[in-house]
Structure 1
Amino acid sequence: MSDTADQTAIDSRNSAFWSELCGTQFAKSLGVTDDSPASLKKFDDWYFAFYPYLFVHIPFEDMRDKDVLEIGLGYGTVSQRLAEAGARYQGLDIAPGPVAMANHRLKQAGLEGRAQVGSILQAPFADASFDYVVAIGCLHHTGDLYKAIEECRRILRPGSKLIFMVYYAYSYRRFYQARTETLRYLMRETFGHRGVVGLSAQAERAAYDANQAGEGAPHTDWISIRSLRKFCRGFASFSGQTENIDNGQPFEQSPPRRELLKTWIPRWFGLDLYATATK
């Protein structure tokens, strides 16, 4: 099978998988059963409380009157907040479900902006179209993380920023669940390799993203800060910081997550790698 055919297959599986909105299971646990303003606010309040560091990494207040593209829309929480902040908002997702939710939110709240179906690997935008690109938790699912980053760079204006989150290759979970692969990756990086951990068992992927049937995402990459910096070498500057921890393995008997977030673990071995690359 050619690389093109491989990518087409990944795109097709991603479109089907991610049409179930990311966060659906959490929404159900909160009692969110519709897409009314009250229900969506309940979800959004939970979301921003669960990921409080989003306000550190996404400068919503600086995006007023700026052209902002969000990639990977999920339940539309960040989409609505960007539009509410006064950004000239556009959204892009490979799956129709998140696009419909984002557009519903914007219309329901009387906000400007539009989301569309498409792949960041072939971004349907001209060069130098945006002041910010925001991509939280999606580029590592595309099947070609480097190309996704390069497309983001292409559509950014000089001096503008890509703000994104990908999964960290040296997180505590990776050492716990995939120790051999993680140590192999560490050894390869020690000798100069720069790239992703791209092949994984479904159980490893499902530990990060699972649909209501318990299936893991079709494709997931994990990457180190060193390798991600290399992937962003076309940008003028790059910075990265790990975040996030939960009460899954091996912290089932540990203090609540809000207490774990205050420890040193997320800063050194967090699940997620938040990065800002300036063109």
Structure 2
Amino acid sequence: MKAFRIPRRGSILVWTFMIQLVFCWSVVFATDGTKACKLQSESDSERKVLSRLEPLANIEFAADVTDDKESYTYVFKLCGDARNVTGAGVIQIDKKDTKKKPKVIGLYNSTRALGGSDWVMLIYNDGEPYDSHCSSEKRKAIIMISCNRNANMGKLEVVLEDRNRSSECFYLFELDSSGVCPVIESHLSTGSIILIIGFCLLAVYLIGGFLYQRLIVGAKGMEQFPNYAFWVEVGNLSSDGCDFVCRSRNREEAPAYRGVTTDALVEEPEERDDHLLPM
């Protein structure tokens, strides 16, 4: 019994199909990164706000905080596991005790997203409960992402940990990104668009005509200019028209000889010499 073999041409097609399939899947996952976040109450408005953060999806941001008593590293990841901690959007790592398990500040499976024209506020809820603060309620992380056109992906900063209250405690973070900036609309007028199109057509005419005259016709010097004879004639006619309209001098021709009065041109009476003839 002969073994079944795929023809070489067929194998190439199969491999091409598999590569395209993998590429399509990678594109889908790359563009739908924010869909991994689960909203506390699903709504189109919050999902739309969340989609504005698509360029930041699955990227980790870290910030260090050190004082006399404590030293922590905070890690934030948009719609992904921060440092591979399952479900954790923001975690706190104790730098003084690296063997200690990271503390979950907020889960991306319990997300809220609020936004304005140039900012987005992302809230991760249902973190690990406090030990003795805030009535042992669950931790919450608030990430304020502001517009900065000069920063595609800014630096994460820890603003404060508000835990000196009985409830509604939170960790506040800041991050700059150009992804939340409003789109700048073009304000070109109709006249500007017409001028731009006109200049483009003129450039195409001059460059194309120059190349044609030089390479095809073999012209040299000023004759390389497209339709040179026509434009010279237009220039001459324009000059004549300008001279006729704008010049103020008398256009009558001056007499060729000066000092001759018009009285000298009067016809004198004819002198008759009949009396000189012999009788």
Alignment TM class, shorter chain as reference: under 0.3
Whichever structure has more strand as a proportion of its residues is 2
Which one has more relative contact order, counting CA pairs under 8 Å at least 6 apart?
1
Whichever structure has more helix as a proportion of its residues is 1
Name the larger-Rg structure. Answer: 2
